[in-house]
Structure 1
C-alpha cells in the first residue's frame, strides 16, 4: 500500500516558486521520524542498513533521504506492522491528524496561502520541532485509552 508519493504533490496548485523537492518535505519528516523511532521495516534494516545510519548521523536531510532512499514513495514496506498500524491511524490525509499537527507546528512561520505547508524547510531544525509532536502522538496511540 502506498501512503504518499512526492510526485502527487508537483504541479496543479503546487507553488511555482518552489522546487519539486519541496513536495517531499512533509512526508520525508514523517518517514525519517518513523525509521529513527524503531518503526523501520526490514527493507531498511536488512537490505539497506546504511539508510538508517545516514539518518542517525544526520548526513542527509529528511526530505532528501525520502527522495533518494525511498524514491519519493512511502509504502507499507517501509514500516513494521506496528508502524503501519500507527501510520494508518495518524498519517492518513483524509482522517488522520498528521497534517493538522504539521500545520500547527510550522504554520505560523510560513507565508499565507492554501499550499503554504510546502514552504517548510527540509532541515534537521524543522525535524527537531516536529519530533516531539510525533513522539507524543505515538505514545497516545500506544496507551490503552488511545
Structure 2
C-alpha cells in the first residue's frame, strides 16, 4: 500500500469546475463568492486555481447557506478563524449564531403548526356548512 506524502496533499489544487461539481454550485456562484472576497483563488491569466484554504472556505459557505445563514454572517464566522481570538472565538460566535438560528426556526415551526391548525378548523367548518347545505 502506498501513501501520499504530506507535501503532495497540501499542494493539491482544484479548478472552478471541480469545486462547482463537488459542492453542486454553479461557476457563477463561486465567482460571486470570489467577488465578495469569501474565496481568493490564485489567478493565472483567466484561470482560477483554488487551494485547500479556498476549498475549505467554500465548504463552510455552502454549509452555512444550507442552514440559512446570510453571506455576511458566513463571512464573519469564516474570517474570525484568521483573527483574534481565533478558532475559540469563532466557535463561541458560531454557537451563538446557531442558537439564534434554532430559535428563529422553532418560531417558524410554531407559526406553521398554528397555521395548519387554523386551516384544519376552517376546513371542518366548511365541510359542516357544505353538508348542511346539501342536506336541505
TM-score (norm 1): 0.30
Q: Which has the higher Rg, Structure 1 or Structure 2? A: 2
Q: Relative to total residues, which structure has the larger helix share, 1 or 2?
A: 2
TM-score (norm 2): 0.31
